[in-house]
Amino acid sequence: MGSILKIEKVSKVYTSGESSLKVLDDVNFDIEAGDIISIVGPSGSGKTTLLGLCAGLDKFTEGEVVLCGKVLSAMSEDECASLRNEKVGFVFQNFQLIPTLTAIENVMIPLELQGKRAYDKAVELLDRVGLPDRMHHYPSQLSGGEQQRVSIARAFINEPEILFADEPTGNLDDNTGSRIEALLFELNKEKNTTLVLVTHDLELAGKTSRIIKLRGGKVISDSSQMQAV
Ligand SMILES: Nc1ncnc2c1ncn2[C@@H]1O[C@H](COP(=O)(O)OP(=O)(O)OP(=O)(O)O)[C@@H](O)[C@H]1O
Ligand SMILES: [Mg+2]
């Protein structure tokens, strides 16, 4: 199978006033469609920043990202937004649910934006993440773990080719975490969804086919390259 995400010599510098901070430095990797990979590293090592760049949510300073065959630097904001809406799922570290919409309304958004029927699918996904009785609650009425599961359901509703998930099990107890982990792996099998997971959970990382370790914005190891040597 072909490459679904290629990151070439990517760096990211945040500047504010006089000071600038290089948070990603010459990052390179290539992910095959259908793969499950994890990105691990200490707090502040650049994991969330990297995920945002890969998904076209944020701009990189140098280098190139090719996502689902599209060269991101050559795309307009609108083209990038359509690509995300049609082919990409994203689970944010802080969920980013819309506070004025109920759980099910939040889950339906990506499909509704495409003018497609969303209700039945949203019900099914909320059931699969274990929230059949919380569908009509607002985010403020849900626990952190419940909000996280709503955001996972939302990320899957457009049947993305690639799903980026930032700490998808970070706020969950062991049981719920295992259930979500199982769901991610099931959806990978069922739909061949490529999964890119940021996690602090080394047990979860150990179950993925490839582990990329970041430190101080650099890739310090990539298990696929270790195998190749
Ligand atoms: N918008 C921003 N402006 C300036 N600096 C930022 C911005 N966003 C992130 N940073 C800095 O970039 C670095 C990497 O942050 P990032 O959120 O990518 O880390 P992380 O690996 O996801 O950490 P964590 O495990 O705590 O979630 C940090 O030093 C952070 O302070
Ligand atoms: Mg982070």
pLDDT at 82: 93
- Among 128, 136, 133, 148, smallest CA distance to 104 is for 136
In this structure, is residue 15 part of a structural domain?
A: no
Give the pLDDT band (50/70/90) at residue 229: very low
**Is 22 a member of any domain?**
no
Residue 89 reports pLDDT greater than 80: yes
Average pLDDT, integer, range 67-90: 95
pTM: predicted TM-score of the whole model, two decimal places: 0.94
pLDDT at 227 > cutoff 80: no
- More confident: 102 or 18: 102
Domain-embedded: residue 71: no
Is 2 a domain residue? Answer: no
* Residues within 6 Å of ligand 1 by CB: 14, 21, 23, 41, 43-49, 93
Is 221 inside any structural domain?
yes
Is 184 domain-assigned? yes
Return the residue whose CA atom lies nearest to atom 7 of ligand 1. Answer: 14
Question: Residue 144: inside a domain, yes or no?
Answer: yes
Distances (CA, A) of 172 to 131, 167, 183, 186, 189: 13, 10, 14, 18, 23
Which stretches of the chain are DSSP H helices?
A: 47-54, 77-87, 103-113, 119-128, 144-156, 174-191, 202-206, 223-228
**pLDDT score at 90:** 95
* CATH number for 122: 3.40.50.300
- Residue 17 forms part of a structural domain: no
User: Minimum-distance ligand to the CA of 16?
Assistant: 1
Quick: pLDDT tens for 161-198: 999 999 999 888 898 899 889 989 999 999 999 999 99
Looking at the structure of the chain, the number of domains it has is: 1
User: How many A from CA of 50 to the centre of ligand 1?
Assistant: 9
Residue 127 lies in domain: 32-57+87-228
Average pLDDT over the chain, rounded to whole?
Answer: 94
Q: What pLDDT digit, counting tens, does each position of 1-49 carry?
A: 699 999 999 999 999 888 999 999 999 999 999 999 999 999 999 999 9
Q: What is the reported pLDDT for 1?
A: 66
- Is 80 exceeded by the pLDDT of residue 226? no
